[in-house]
Amino acid sequence: MTDVSEQAEQTDQAARAEQGGRNGQAEAKQDQPPTVIVDNLHIVYRLRGGGPGKAKGAKGKAALREQALAAKEQQDQEPQQDRGGRASRAVRRLTGRSEQAKKGGRKVHAIRGVSFTAYRGEAIGVIGSNGSGKSTILRAIAGLMPPEAGRVYTEGQPSLLGVNAALMNDLSGERNVILGCLAMGMTPQEAYAKREEIIRFSGINEKGDFSSLPMRAYSSGMAARLRFAIASAKNHDVLMIDEALATGDRKFRRRSEERIRELRGEAGTVFLVSHSNKSIRDTCDRVLWLETGSLVMDGPTEEVLEAYEEFMNG
Amino acid sequence: MALDGVTRDRPDPHAAELASKYGLSVTGARPGMIEYIRRLWQHRYFIGEFSRARSSTKYTRARLGGFWFVLTPLMNAAVYYVIFGLLLGTSRGVEDFISFLVTGVFVFTFTRDTVTSGVKSISGERGLIRALHFPRAVLPLTQVSMKSRQVVISMVVLMVIVIARQNYPDWSWLLIVPILALQLMFNTGLAFWAARLGSKSTDAAQWLPFVLRAWMYGSGVLYMVEQRAANAPTWALTVLDVQPAAVYIDLMRYALMSPENFGTQYLPAHVWLIALGWALLALVAGFVYFYRAEEEYGRD
């Protein structure tokens, strides 16, 4: 496992890949113009303060993972530094004794030199075990996480639909629909015109008039459905979906998979992060497999999923 | 081992070339200033709706509800009146102390509230920043817009109090509009500055309240600074007189209070130019300062 993250191994892999030449999916789509080019991307999280178990704001899965990784990395790299308490760490930070301290806290190298090109009309699944950097790479493509090194080029402005896309819990579903549309840059006229359609697609009104209730009355599945409905109301050049469909029921999942196919048909590129190999198989024709921030495999769905399943069971 | 699998899609050695050939742009890159302002303008409806939504939910879980919009400034004024007017007696030598005090408190509160909410406008909305793409200047502007809604309510309360103190409306009351507009520009600039300051670390949120309190005591909110600091050197008095908070507060007093209680003798020379200068300086400098770190917001 740890070998993969090492730079030497990676360049070695790269060299072999080059010798082998390009094949598979990327070749087949060469006639289509590229929509996303990720060029040797590195992402580093910087964490400030809060030893393991003390960090505040560790709400999401990502935060917990970062924390755990940070703790691990610190043990590996500089065991002598974590002797003091919070205050002495703050003093160290202020005096700026080491380069790391100067930059404020510890680092987590979440993405380590990933490169790939996505083409128009592709639906790309992103898989990997927990903490492999799937969500991070989507955020980086969306331009929401500044890269440490490398570049991401995209066509238009990619949209990321995540599990914790912000909606306001104290507001009604209807009002959230309007807010979401305006945030995507629509005019009020467009937003009001789309409102009915979005609510119908989300299906939240199937069990009574939920769209006028505050969102804190919704189940997690209903909230996820509304989020997806809002995000997919606009045609995106690049749409990225981060496990957002996981909480929906079967009926909604079918409907949203259909919508994903439609969006692809409208000459966009769709990325889908999921732990459900079935929904990847049903919607994607190409899969990227990440492990500890490096790209392990990139190819046609069946081929990669087979290798991945073997790896996970083995 | 499966991990030995070969990475198929090598990075194009000429990624940048390919990108420019198909018109791809670097994601998340900061657009030019003009383009940035255009996008900000495109999101004006979002600012309005978002601030309306935030204001309407602010007190949804309070039993007194929207009443707090009126109660908060009133209670503020009452506390200062008891402490400074009755206990410490700073009212000596000031005509119509209640109008003097309440105007000062309300005007300064507008600036203070905008700055303190501006400092949290980026760090408090990290979820939104990581989920959606929009010009980040939307966030401090939303806070400014919320506080402006509040100031309209405060101004109505203020006018009622001032009228009850027998300062009846006259033509000078029309000056309220330009004064508030200039102060709003000034506050917006400060909010931009505070938003960037508070975006990386929360230290600013800790020390800013102290700075703001010191600023309030130096702004003649609760007493006539000129009387209290009569022994200070002239340059210090001039500074106290032309600093922005004092300018906006004194202009508002001049507009609302009757001329015999607060006339032009309390205003520095060229007061309107000074007020306009502060407003433009803060707005432009604050906006540019905020804009230059646009790509950094959202990073921990």
Which residue does chain B place closest to A106, by CA atoms?
B300
Res A151: pLDDT? 85
Q: Of A50, A79, A111, which residue sits at a domain end?
A: A111
- Residue A116 included in any domain: no
Q: Does B28 touch chain A (CB under 8 A)?
A: yes
Distance, CA of A112 to CA of B156 (rounded, Å): 58
Distance of residue B208 Cα from the nearest chain A Cα, in angstroms:
19
Of A120 and A169, the one with more pLDDT: A120
Closest CB to A17: pick one of B8, B29, B200. B8
Query: How many pairs of residues across A and B have Cβ atoms under 8 Å apart?
Result: 184
Q: Does B13 touch chain A (CB under 8 A)?
A: no
pLDDT in tens, A50-97: 544 433 443 445 545 555 555 555 444 444 444 445 666 666 555 544
Which of the four pLDDT bands, split at 50, 70 and 90, describes residue A30?
low
Which residue does chain B place closest to A162, by CA atoms?
B131
- Residue A283 included in any domain: yes
Task: Tell me if B12 and A162 make a contact (CB, 8 A cut-off).
Answer: no
Contact B190, B111 (CB under 8 A): yes
pLDDT in tens, B28-82: 778 889 999 999 999 999 999 989 888 887 777 777 777 887 888 788 888 888 8
Distance, CA of B162 to CA of B170 (rounded, Å): 12
Same domain for A83 and A153, yes or no, is: no
Res B189: pLDDT? 97
Closest CB to B6: pick one of A17, A46, A311. A17
Of B5 and A214, the one with more pLDDT: A214
Most A-contacting residue of B1, B7, B21 (CB-CB within 10 A), to test interface: B7
Distance of residue A78 Cα from the nearest chain B Cα, in angstroms:
21
Distances in Å between the alpha carbon of B225 and those of A67, A270, B8, B95? 51, 64, 74, 14
Same domain for A16 and A81, yes or no, is: yes
Q: Of A79, A111, A143, which residue sits at a domain end?
A: A111
Interface of B with A in 197-226 (CB under 8 A): 200-201
Interface of B with A in 38-57 (CB under 8 A): 39, 42-43, 45-46, 49-50, 53-54, 56-57
Distance of residue A52 Cα from the nearest chain B Cα, in angstroms:
17
Collect all residues of chain A within an 8 Å Cβ-Cβ radius of residue B18.
Answer: 34, 37, 117, 153
Which of the four pLDDT bands, split at 50, 70 and 90, describes residue A287?
very high
- Residue A141 included in any domain: yes
Number of structural domains chain A divides into: 2
Task: Tell me if B27 and A145 make a contact (CB, 8 A cut-off).
Answer: no
Res A1: pLDDT? 43
Task: Tell me if A117 and B3 make a contact (CB, 8 A cut-off).
Answer: no
pLDDT in tens, A94-109: 554 444 444 456 788 8
Task: Tell me if A310 and B2 make a contact (CB, 8 A cut-off).
Answer: yes
Distance, CA of B185 to CA of B179 (rounded, Å): 10
Res A12: pLDDT? 45
Q: Which of A95-109, A110-124, A185-199, B198-212 has the lowest mean pLDDT?
A: A95-109
Same domain for A185 and A282, yes or no, is: yes
Same domain for A141 and A23, yes or no, is: no
Measured in whole angstroms, the distance separating CA B79 from the mean position of its chain's CA atoms is: 23
CATH of the domain at A258: 3.40.50.300
Task: Tell me if B24 and A314 make a contact (CB, 8 A cut-off).
Answer: no
Distance of residue A158 Cα from the nearest chain B Cα, in angstroms:
8
pLDDT beyond 60 at A305: yes
Res A49: pLDDT? 60
Structure tokens at B133: 């793409």
Which of the four pLDDT bands, split at 50, 70 and 90, describes residue A249?
confident
Distance of residue A105 Cα from the nearest chain B Cα, in angstroms:
10
Q: Which residues of chain B have pLDDT under 70?
A: 1-13, 299-300
Closest CB to B25: pick one of A117, A154, A175. A154
- Residue A175 included in any domain: yes
Same domain for A86 and A189, yes or no, is: no
Which residue does chain B place closest to A46, by CA atoms?
B300
Res A276: pLDDT? 81
Q: Of A111, A136, A159, which residue sits at a domain end?
A: A111
Range of the domain at A144: 121-313
Contact A247, A224 (CB under 8 A): yes
Closest CB to A145: pick one of B12, B49, B299. B299
Task: Tell me if A160 and B131 make a contact (CB, 8 A cut-off).
Answer: yes
With both helix axes pointing from N to C terminus, report the angle between B44-58 and A173-183 in degrees, rounded to the nearest 10: 150
Same domain for A46 and A162, yes or no, is: no
Q: Which of A100-104, A274-278, A302-306, B60-64 has the lowest mean pLDDT?
A: A100-104
Same domain for A41 and A67, yes or no, is: yes
Same domain for A276 and A146, yes or no, is: yes
Res B127: pLDDT? 72
Distance, CA of A121 to CA of A116 (rounded, Å): 16
pLDDT in tens, B133-164: 788 999 999 999 999 988 998 898 889 888 98
Listed in sequence order, the residues at least 6 apart from B16 whose beta carbon sits closer than 8 Å to its beta carbon are A39, A151, A153
Backbone angles phi, psi at B41, to 5 degrees: -60, -40
Res A90: pLDDT? 61
Same domain for A223 and A170, yes or no, is: yes
Interface of B with A in 99-158 (CB under 8 A): 125, 127-134
Same domain for A32 and A176, yes or no, is: no
Q: Does B233 touch chain A (CB under 8 A)?
A: no
Nearest CA to B158 among B114, B212, B101, B113?
B101
Same domain for A143 and A208, yes or no, is: yes
Res A281: pLDDT? 87
Strand pairing of B25-26 and A149-154? Answer: antiparallel
Task: Tell me if A144 and B9 make a contact (CB, 8 A cut-off).
Answer: no
Same domain for A305 and A188, yes or no, is: yes
pLDDT in tens, A64-73: 555 555 555 5
Collect all residues of chain B within an 8 Å Cβ-Cβ radius of residue A171.
Answer: 53, 56-57
